[in-house]
Amino acid sequence: MNDKKKIALAACSGMSPYGLVARVTLTDTVAETDNIISICMGATAADKEGFNTLIRKYPIIAINGCEGNCTTKILEQKGVKPIKNLNVSEELEKVNLKPLDVSRLDDEGEICVEHLKKKIKELY
């Protein structure tokens, strides 16, 4: 993946099992990949200094936890259109996976994360 252009991932920060899976997927993907950085959605939404510049520097894949698509909406409110939008609940439903806990990943949650990491790699 080192030959690919650097991109950013922005994940849901909602308090649902899908939000947790989105955040862990982002964290694992960034840790395992040289050309991907993470965007903090809380800092972005709060207009923390430097984040408005950062979200315009790299193409962004938005990882939305549910049908609310808050990650995409926040980015668009800041004038940034993600290059891709991934909806965790929709993707997991396609393969009959469902995380259960909002604060800890169980075995099913880890399976969900692994599935989504593969999906993100397909997107770019």
3-state helix, strand, coil in the chain (%, to 5): 50, 15, 35
Give the contacts of 107 (CB within 8 A, at least 6 positions apart).
none
Confidence class for position 2, pLDDT limits 50, 70, 90: very low
Beta strand 60-64 with 7-11 is: parallel
**Token reading at 123:** 């997107």
Question: What's the average model confidence in pLDDT over 12-18?
Answer: 94
Q: Does domain 7-123 have CATH number 3.30.1490?
A: no
Structure-token match 């999906």, residue found: 119
Q: How confident is the model at residue 1, as a pLDDT?
A: 43
pTM metric for this prediction? 0.92
Ordered by start, the domain boundaries in the chain are 7-123
Per residue in 38-85, pLDDT tens? Answer: 999 999 999 999 998 999 999 999 999 999 999 999 999 999 999 999
